[in-house]
Structures are given as structure tokens and as C-alpha cells.
Structure 1
């Protein structure tokens, strides 16, 4: 089965409401829809994750696509890293693994969808079989002020989510008020916090001490990820479990995080690792250290939810409260299946490929929004 064409469609998917976090306010998800066509009429579909803007990702994709045409869909791993060496790294940007991975992930992931559809099997069978029949997700609390976040947290508890996830890093007083308000309406759920690299060491130690009375299950990447494992080790004395997110993109970085025992969990998305193979490699490294891996969400659509559900089902150390972000969108791109978790869980689809049907009208509207605005941050 040969690759005959790869189509790229830039999309801007608007959020229902302003998304508040440590880095400001975000209004939409910028993604590139990837469609890999084959000589047997099969089309594999995925998306490439967010970059600073869509245009650099499109430029890299369009430069890379000719390297894939006429080649076998089964050679995706070799083709991607051949292009990395000869078409990307050779031009003096070998350190830019993260941009490369997020950009090229859509092609790697679309090839798995094409293979699954071709042989009539879900992707989890292509990758060796499922270990989980359903995947757990946390309730992602949204809002600006503490009372808004608390109201949404109460709603998520009513919907049966056993784990809630809250963004911090917006100012010490506001952060503490947010956590206090949420704990008042959700006293029994497992509570996870994410400061998105907003704190330095001293501030992190002080804030973690103040947050202890609220029974925090885990704090995600409160200090800058560029510091790697050493940055997290400096705040271990606070006695709050830590997860590494922006510290880890490469399997090698996961190895270092596990070797130094700097983190209690690994938070990592399939776009960040350049697709399924390297994400599963990172998961295997974490498993060897008896550490969970959590599917990380970036600004994405239900396409990535379906992908993560399939790939995540194949690893034994998958966390029971992963991240999805399609629910933040004004309109998702998935026609079916339903991606609304029931009591925090989604079943793993048994349909060929990733098992979803695309809403072509929603894709057209998101593309029109990209053409109109070409920006995803407030102006």
C-alpha cells in the first residue's frame, strides 16, 4: 500500500469560553488536519499539534511531504526520521526536536489510521493489542474567578468524574482562593493541580506548603521544564507528589526523569513524541521505573482524543485520569463516536483505524475561521 497524497488543512477551532491559565488567555485551538491517501483508496486521518503559529508547521509539512509520496505506509517510522536527518537536522536545526515532533506527529499518526483501516482492525490491534477496555479522564475545571471554577467543579462532580484538574500559576492569592473554593464543593475527589512552569523554586516550595491542607494528589510541572529533573528535585522536600510535563518530550528525557526519581508521574502527549511509536517507547521506560504515564492534552480536537484512546489502551502503566480538550471547543470535528466520558471513562473503539467519523462541515468552518483570523491568541 503506497502513499499517493498527503493533504494538509490548517484549522482554527474556537473555544466556548476564554481559557484561563498561567500563560494568559487562549481563545482557540490551532491544528493542521492531516489526510494520507493511499493507492488502495484508504485515507488515514490525524492532526498535527499546536506550534507558536500554524504557518511554520505548514512550511515544514510541505517540505516533508514529497519524501513520503510513492513510499509504503508501513515505512512511516523510517521515512519520518530519514527526513529529520536529511531535510530538517541537516539545515542546522537539530536541536528543535519539539517543533519537529509536534509538526510531523500528524503524518505518523495518520499512517497508523490508514494501516488499521486497510486491514480492518483498530489501531490498538495493529500495535499489539489492548490492555484496557476503557480509558479514564479527569474533569478539566474551567473559568476565571474562584466562584466560576467552583461552580464548574461541582458540575463535573455531578457528572461522575472521580478526578478534577485545575490550572494555577495565576498569582498566589488567586491560586489559593481557587483551590479553597473547589475543595469546598468537591471535598472527596482526587484533586490535581498544574501551575504550568509559573513558579521558581522558592515560590514553589512556599505554595506547595500552603496547598497541603487541600489534599493534593499531584502537582504538575510547577517549575520551568527547561530545568529538567534537577528543577523538580529541588522542590521534592515539600512532600507533594510531582508530575513532569514540559520537562519531558523525548524518551531520553523520560529516562532521566525516572532515573533521578524526580517525578512520580510522566505527563506526555502523542504530538510531543512525534506519534505513537515514540510515545509507547516513553511509556515503556516509565513502566520499567514503576511510574505511570498520563496522556497529555494540548490545544487539540476530538481527533486526538480518539488517537490517544487507541494508543493509550496498549500500555500497562497508563494513568486512570488522562487529559482531553475537545470539550473546550465551540464545535468539535468528530461526528461519531460520542467522546463524552461516562463517570470519567471512555470505551476503546473496536472499529478499524481510530474508529471516528469526521464532520466535514465542521472542518470547513474551522478552516474558514483560520483564513479569517490566522491567530489563536487575543489581539
Structure 2
């Protein structure tokens, strides 16, 4: 009888080009860091995944990986127990980057166990799908939809990085409303997105409101969202939402902290969404105890603890009458496919999901870049995740990692190369 016990876990850090996108913490660094996880069985089957690639995450996965040896790919609960026992979060200066943590909850040390569990869980479920000859979505209960909608994710941006490690990206500068509309026209023209999200909290709030109003005029009827990443005070948040009355589909993380969001919600009739203040089940409980000022949870299986945990979150959102969608960070196709299987398995998916995918031009899966159809990604039907690693691409992206000089993302430091006076202190406006 063939053994399918896990015999080896490989984690390969990679780096790929990231454009100079502005956000509340600063500006994207020149290279985005990710990791490619491969879990191999005695029979030679390999399950894959993509996760974070910062040094603390790589160290945590290396510490936990030996605990998987000998496990069945079906033993997810035991994997949870073993990882939790081995990975004890310890806050260090390299793991806690001030405002960077508030911008990206997935970087917070409190999420370490959940991130490692998720990294291994997805690869193990890819193995399960291969063994069962079924796509991951079927292992999650079956598809509630044949394709998953995503939104056009717009950014204010510079034309090129100040360090110029490679040619400027083809999108060019976007600092004015007209440039923002041009960015949206191109992105929607290429991918067919039906809704639009603007990353804000970077330029004066009134200017960013002008950008949303320009988008509303250029794309009448398109659902619009704005996300200042908690970089506005409550007063600013209320002043801007008043200007945008009747324009927004939802208002994402305008003010910092759940208390700040609650103060905005008290005086605002636009539903508030978050990926910053409801990022685990304890924070979900606090939101519920406060009467649910946050009405839409933007989940992310990478730091919520995996696919199964996100399904539990969906049940909780349904119970409390909350909306559900998905947060994104710079990622490639394996991560996008995992998001798609998960989103397809969740009947409650209230809004199109976020994705940074159009901003990346590299890929690590065979066949190259994944293609959206009318702004949605078809749910794969092949066994497991339905994608395979391109070995030449993996080697090239790993070589990028070895030579890029970045080991922990720090948008604040990158911004200070352009503006030495920038502090990243929040709320800024």
C-alpha cells in the first residue's frame, strides 16, 4: 500500500518587482517578499502554497516544519496542535515595525501561529485534493459560485522608484484625479472589473475625495470604496464621507482603532468595512459587544488561520448579520487561486474581493499569469489548487530574493528615502 505520509517540507523565499504604490505607512518597497511552500509525501506527491516571505515568518515556518514529518495530509487538526506548540510568538524589533503593523495586520507578531497554520494548511489541502481527485473548493463543501468577482484596486503612485533597480512600471504616475481615472480605465479595460477600490490615506483627504468623485463621474453606477488605512481622524473621516454622500459602497478603515471606527459609525450611514480592527475572533467578539460598528469584515486566510478558519468566520458574519469580503496584499497566482477556492466555497460573499494581482507582472505557476473574465476568476476544477509551480520561474524569483537586499518589508523607510521628514505617524490627517 502506498504511503502518503509527509516526508519533507520545503520553503523557498522569493522576491518580485513591486511598483511605487503609496499607502498610509509610506510607499511599497522595490521588491515584494513571499514564500513558496512545498509539502512532499512518501509517494512523491507535492502540495504547494504561497505565503509571507519576511524573515520572522520564514523563521517561524522553519521552526514548525519538522513537526509535519510523518503526518497524513488529512491530519489538519493535529498539524494545528503541533504548530501551536512549537511557534511561540516573541515580539522583536524586526517583527514590530511601528505604523507598519497597523497598516498590515498580517505582519503583527500576534498572528504568527495563524499565519504558519494557514501556510501549511493550504499546501496540505492541495495534497488532499490530489489524493481525492477533487478541487480544494469541493473539500471545503463545494462551490457556491462558478467564479469569484474581484475589484479594481487603485493606488496613488509615483512614476518610478527613487532607487530605480529596474525600469519604471508601465502604469506611470497617478497623483491627480485625471491620472487616477486613467489608471482605472486601463485596469478595467484589461481585466473587466465591475467595482473600484481606492487606497487612500496618502495625500490630503480633500484631494482623495476629489479622486473618488472623478471616478464616480467616469464610471457611473460602479460600486466605489475608499480605504485610508486608519490614517484620518474621526473628524476628517466624517467630513470626507459627507462629501461622498451617495457615492460609496462602503467605507473602509477611515479612522484608527475599533473605538475610532465606532465613533465614525455613530454619525455615518455608510457601512464601515475593515481588515485592520477585526482581524481575529477576539476582535470579532469585541466588535459584536460594541453593537457591530464594523458591518463588513474583509478577511484574509493568510492571517486568519487558513481556509477552514475563514469559513468559520463566514458563519459568524452570517449569525451577526455582517457582510464579508477579502483583503489582499502583493501576491502571485498560488495565493490568488487559494483565495478563489475559499471565496467560492463561502455562500456569504457580499462584495467583490480585493487583489493586488494586476500590479504584479511576475508569476511562479506554469502557464503564466492568470486571467480574469469580466473582473472575475473562474474557480479551478482540476485536483487540489489546480496550479503547479514553474521551476524556472521559482529559481529566478528566488535569485531575486537572494540579491534584493530586503528581508522585512518597511514602507516607512522606503518613503523616507524620498521624504526624510515623513514619520508615518497615524492618524496623519
Do these two structures clear the TM 0.5 threshold for a shared fold by scoring above it?
Answer: yes
Structure 2 partner of 1:87: 86
Structure 2 match to 1:235: 264
Alignment equivalent of 1:280, drawn from 279, 299, 311: 311
Structure 1 residue runs of 5 or longer lacking an equivalent are: none
Aligned partners of 1:32 and 1:47 also within 8 Å: yes
Q: CA RMSD in A?
A: 2.2
Aligned to 1:218: 250
2:130 to 103, 117, 142: 117
- Counting only pairs closer than 5 Å after superposition, residues 63-102 of structure 1 correspond to structure 2 as 63-84=63-84, 86-89=85-88, 96-102=109-115
What is the aligned partner in structure 2 of residue 153 from structure 1?
Answer: 184
Match of 1:244 in 2: 274
1:178 aligns with 2:211: yes
CA pair 91-337 structure 1, distance change in 2 beyond 3 A? closer
Match of 1:25 among 24, 27, 31: 27
How far is 1:338 from its partner? 5.6
Say if 1:251 and 1:278, in contact at 8 Å, map to a contact too.
Answer: no
- Note closer, same or farther for the CA distance 1:366–1:90 as it changes in structure 2 (3 Å cut): closer
Counterparts in 2 of 1:258 and 1:314: CA distance versus 1, 3 Å: farther
Are the counterparts in 2 of residues 205 and 235 from structure 1 also a CA contact under 8 Å?
A: yes
- Whether the 8 Å contact between 2:148 and 2:377 is mirrored in structure 1 is yes
Aligned residues: 369
Worse-superposed segment, 322-331 or 306-315: 322-331
In structure 2, C-alpha distance between the alignment counterparts of 1:338 and 1:91, rounded to whole Å: 37
Instruction: Return the alpha-carbon distance in structure 2 between the equivalents of residues 366 and 198 of structure 1.
Output: 33
Q: Which moved more, 1:104-113 or 1:138-147?
A: 138-147
Residue 266 (structure 1) shift: 0.8
C-alpha offsets along residues 96-121 of structure 1, whole Å, 9 cap, x if unaligned?
43133234421111111111111111
Q: Deviations over 1:277-310 (max 9, x none)?
A: 1111111111112322112112221111100111
Q: Is the 8 A contact 1:49 1:298 kept in 2?
A: no
Distance across 1 between alignment mates of 2:78 and 2:280: 17
C-alpha contact 1:255 1:285 (8 A) present in aligned 2? no
Per the alignment, residue 128 of structure 1 pairs with 141
Q: Which runs of 5+ in 2 are unaligned?
A: 93-107, 158-174, 418-429
Q: CA deviation at 1:92?
A: 9.0
More divergent stretch after superposition (200-209 vs 162-171)? 200-209
**TM-score if structure 1 supplies the norm length?**
0.90
Distance in structure 2 (CA, Å) of the matches to 1:24 and 1:277 = 33
Q: Is the 8 A contact 1:296 1:322 kept in 2?
A: yes
2:378 corresponds to 1:355: no
What is residue 313 of structure 1 aligned with on the other side? 344
In the aligned structure 2, how far is the partner of 1:306 from the partner of 1:161? 17
More strand by share: 1
Task: Measure how far apart 1:125 and its partner are.
Answer: 1.2
Q: 1:21 offset after TM fit, Å?
A: 1.9
After superposition, the C-alpha distances for 1:239-269 in whole angstroms (9 at most, x for unaligned) are: 2221021112213323443452212211011
